Structure 1
Amino acid sequence: MILDTNAISALSAQEEGLLRVLERENDLCVTVVNAAEYFYGLQNSKQKNVLARWFSEFLESVRILDLDRDVFPYYHVIRTELKRAGTPIPTNDLWTASLARLHGMKVVSRDRHFDRVQGVERIGW
């Protein structure tokens, strides 16, 4: 499962609903894009030091999916499909969806727009 940025935030806050979803999963991943988004967000947090420590430890425990040339065709296809349907999604989420489709993984997210991406299953909480 790929954790979207809002799932990373919920995990750092130990949200019970998300913890229940994740307790059955042993292969958690984040994308380099989601990791960068979370890192950006924590810079202005009142709990910056605590969250930065937590995030560093968290990144040691998950697989980080990087952007490489294998994902480019997936990005192209998904972006084209959504554009034709008139239902684009934010660029960072487009990368997450592309990596999910490439690796055959589900996306854990509160963002319902992932539901519009063919071939990607969103798990909410």
Structure 2
Amino acid sequence: MIDTSAVISLFRGLASAGECFNAAREVWMPVTVLGELHCGLRKCGCPVKESLRIAELRDRCLLIPIDEETAMQYARVHGDLERAGAMIPINDLWIATLAMRHGLPLLAKDDHFSRVDGLDFVAL
């Protein structure tokens, strides 16, 4: 599964991101990541070019929605992180719980994912 930070690294040409992406049989993208990419698109200087890149990436990925089981797991992980004083950004918490729910490793550049117990975090 890919996080937004991994997509940005891929788009910027980071070799390790490209290698991971190309080696994967399937690439899973949380709907949250797609939303973050579209938010970034609204701020960029080349919206047409970047929109095409996002569409190409989206076509290569399996888009993962948030379901009820993920929502329940989100609440558990949120509580654990809050009690530990180790909260991560809310969208990243959704992304982490989606990866955990589906038993997938999460490729990301943000080290705060390492705070999530039980997450198979693959750091770029």
Runs of 4+ in 1 over 3 A off after TM superposition: none
Per the TM alignment, residue 21 of structure 1 is displaced from its structure 2 partner at its CA by 2.4
Question: 1:110·1:124 contact (CA, 8 Å) conserved in 2?
Answer: yes
Per the TM alignment, residue 44 of structure 1 is displaced from its structure 2 partner at its CA by 1.6
SS at match of 1:72: helix
Aligned to 2:67: 68
Distance 2:14 2:45 in 1: 19
Distance 2:54 2:22 in 1: 19
Question: 2:100·2:120 contact (CA, 8 Å) conserved in 1?
Answer: no
Aligned to 1:113: 112
Distance 2:71 2:44 in 1: 33
| TM-score normalised according to structure 1 size | 0.93
Distance 1:62 1:111 in 2: 21
Aligned to 2:89: 90
Aligned residues: 124
Distance 1:75 1:124 in 2: 21
What are structure 1's unaligned runs of at least 5 residues? none
Per the TM alignment, residue 93 of structure 1 is displaced from its structure 2 partner at its CA by 0.5
Distance 2:18 2:11 in 1: 10
Distance 1:33 1:22 in 2: 19
SS at match of 1:29: strand
Per the TM alignment, residue 58 of structure 1 is displaced from its structure 2 partner at its CA by 1.3
Aligned to 1:57: 56
SS at match of 1:123: strand
SS at match of 1:118: coil
Aligned to 1:42: 41
Alpha-carbon RMSD:
1.1
Q: Which amino acid aligns with 2:35?
A: A
Identity of matched residues, %: 26
Aligned to 1:9: 8
Question: 1:30·1:64 contact (CA, 8 Å) conserved in 2?
Answer: yes
Distance 1:22 1:67 in 2: 23
